[in-house]
Every structure is written in structure tokens, then in C-alpha cells.
């Protein structure tokens, strides 16, 4: 008998009698302002956040906040003019020198500050991890209250890889001292893209 068969046989013999699945569809976020909650939570976990109304504002902020003499890549055609549109087909190791990557989230979660990035949004799987700094554009209307609404929207999802990313890479392994930038990005910036007349709601 193969290990597969013997393991399955042992499991079948030893598993207890049927226990029903609980209903989890009733879990939902409250009716609070998700954009405001997102901003509060994301900054509390060490993220940098700007509310902007167009890509020109994003481009300007990047030029002031980052070293543009270094390699800056993006998946967004709107930012391809000053920055490099990344190739989805080159060897992922070639991104080792990336200073800043700018990508766009499919949605974001107010309760924990995380953005959801299926691999199509990353360009390549390694991008949001290998860069020294990560910037993510989040359209305000894609922010959901909790992970329950997030998984509702994601559904099965047409991706081979996807990730929630909530803040810069972190470690506190040395005496519980919090250090940003363990292996991944040292900073994470979120640009919340909002219609101009709505800006006052948040800022």
C-alpha cells in the first residue's frame, strides 16, 4: 500500500462523526466610512498614505519622495512616461536593483490596511517583494470593510498567485525591536485615488 493510501485509510478510520460547517456569511463589516478606516489603519501599521485625485499628483509625489536617479518601475501605463513600464517576460532576478515599484491594487481592506494583488497586477510575482520601496495605487471605491467582503469579491479568482500585502516588510525578531525592511520593501506607500470633490471627506 502506498503512503497515500495508508494515510487516507488511517484518516478515514480515525476521523470523528460528521460535524456541520458553521454559517460564516453573516460576518460583515459595519457601516463606518471604509476609506477613513483604511487610512487610519494603514498609517498605524507603518504605511505612508496620500489621497490624490489623479496620476499627475502621484507622479509629482514620487518625484519628491524617492530617488529618481535609481530604477523606478511600474505596471501602470498612466505612469509609464517618466518611469519604466516593467516587462512581464524577463527573468525575475533582473529586478534586484529596483528602488521603487508602483502597481495598482484590485481592492483594499479597511480593517487591516492590506491591499489585494493578483499576479496580473504585480506584473511579475517578485515585484512587490524585491523592490526597496513599494507604492500601490488604490481607487477609493475598491476599499471594502473586512476580509469577508474581500473574499466575496475575489471569488475563485483568475490568478496563479495572489497576495494581501499590508505594510512594509517587518521583523521584530531581535529583542522585539520593530525594524522595517526585513527582506522586502523598507517602506510602503498607498495612493488613494479619489474624485476631486470627495477629497475633503478624508483629509
Can you give the binding site for other proteins, defined by CB under 8 A?
A: 2-4, 6-8, 10-22, 24-25, 27, 41, 45, 92-93, 96, 109, 111-114, 124-126, 129-130, 146-148, 150-152, 154, 156, 159-177, 179, 181-185
Distance CA 134, CA 100 (A): 6
| Closer of 19 and 200 to other proteins (Cβ) | 19
3-state secondary structure of 83: coil
Taking the complex as a whole, the smallest distance from the CB of residue 38 to other proteins amounts, in Å, to 11
Taking the complex as a whole, the smallest distance from the CB of residue 113 to other proteins amounts, in Å, to 6
Taking the complex as a whole, the smallest distance from the CB of residue 26 to other proteins amounts, in Å, to 9
125-to-73, 101, 128, 130, 182 alpha-carbon distances in Å: 14, 12, 7, 10, 18
| Residue pointed to by grid coordinates 497586477 | 121
| Closer of 52 and 101 to other proteins (Cβ) | 101
178: exposed, middle or buried (C-beta count within 10 Å: 0-12, 13-18, 19+)? exposed
Taking the complex as a whole, the smallest distance from the CB of residue 178 to other proteins amounts, in Å, to 8
Q: Which residues pair with 102 in a beta bridge?
A: 74, 135
| Closer of 81 and 156 to other proteins (Cβ) | 156
Taking the complex as a whole, the smallest distance from the CB of residue 82 to other proteins amounts, in Å, to 27
Q: Are 110 and 145 in contact (CB under 8 A)?
A: yes
| Closer of 77 and 174 to other proteins (Cβ) | 174
Q: What is the dihedral of CA 177, 181, 186, 191, to 10 degrees?
A: -80
| Closer of 64 and 183 to other proteins (Cβ) | 183
Amino acid at each position: 500500500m502506498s503512503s497515500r493510501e495508508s494515510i487516507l485509510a488511517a484518516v478515514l478510520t480515525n476521523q470523528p462523526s460528521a460535524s456541520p460547517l458553521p454559517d460564516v456569511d453573516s460576518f460583515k463589516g459595519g457601516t463606518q466610512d471604509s476609506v477613513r478606516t483604511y487610512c487610519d489603519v494603514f498609517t498605524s501599521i507603518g504605511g505612508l498614505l496620500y489621497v490624490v485625485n489623479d496620476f499627475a499628483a502621484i507622479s509629482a509625489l514620487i518625484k519628491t519622495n524617492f530617488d529618481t536617479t535609481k530604477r523606478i518601475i511600474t505596471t501602470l501605463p498612466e505612469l509609464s512616461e517618466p518611469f519604466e513600464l516593467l516587462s512581464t517576460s524577463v527573468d525575475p532576478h533582473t529586478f534586484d536593483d529596483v528602488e521603487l515599484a508602483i502597481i495598482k491594487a484590485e481592492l483594499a481592506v479597511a480593517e487591516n490596511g492590506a491591499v489585494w494583488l493578483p499576479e496580473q497586477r504585480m506584473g511579475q510575482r517578485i515585484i512587490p517583494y524585491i523592490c526597496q520601496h513599494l507604492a500601490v495605487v488604490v481607487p477609493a471605491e475598491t476599499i471594502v470593510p473586512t476580509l469577508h467582503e474581500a473574499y466575496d469579491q475575489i471569488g475563485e479568482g483568475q490568478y496563479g498567485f495572489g497576495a494581501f500585502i499590508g505594510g512594509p516588510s517587518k521583523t521584530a525578531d531581535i529583542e522585539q525591536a520593530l525594524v522595517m525592511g526585513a527582506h522586502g520593501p523598507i517602506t510602503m506607500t498607498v495612493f488613494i485615488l479619489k474624485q476631486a470633490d470627495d477629497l475633503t471627506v478624508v483629509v
